Amino acid sequence: MDALFIDAKGLVRFIQDLETAAKESGAVLKMNSAVLPESPEEKGPRLQFQISGSFPALFLFQTRLESSPYQIRFEKVDFLRAGEGAGQGAGWSANYSLKVLSYLF
């Protein structure tokens, strides 16, 4: 049960889990920011990151993220294709902003 919740020390492990999920999906993750909450009213840390790779890789990452044991809230997800006329194997990226709700204060 403890593995379902994270605290300030566990946030690094959570970010490493995101990086592993991206790599196993065939995508690359770039962390932009991780902000710890100052009070319980903020619910949990907010993370902003970008992943890049083929569309199937990004879709697989999204699926893994949705089925992770942590309770998270997607605040924003933008999928962007690298260029017009590009196929599925071409470069895609996704910008994420999410909040980890299974956070222990």
Q: Does residue 74 carry a pLDDT above 50?
A: yes
pLDDT digit string (tens) for 79-102?
A: 999 865 555 555 999 999 999 987
Residue 77: CB partners within 8 Å, gap ≥ 6?
62, 94, 95, 96, 97
Residue 63 counted as domain residue: yes
Residue 11 counted as domain residue: yes
Residue 37 counted as domain residue: yes
Residue 105 counted as domain residue: no
| pTM metric for this prediction | 0.82
For residue 23, what are the domain limits? 2-100
User: Model confidence at 1, in pLDDT bands (50, 70, 90)?
Assistant: very low
pLDDT digit string (tens) for 47-59?
A: 999 999 999 999 9
- Structural domains of the chain, count: 1
Give the CATH number for residue 92.
3.30.70.60
| Mean predicted confidence (pLDDT) in 51-79 | 93
Give alpha helix (H) positions in 1-105: 11-25, 55-66
Residue 87 counted as domain residue: yes
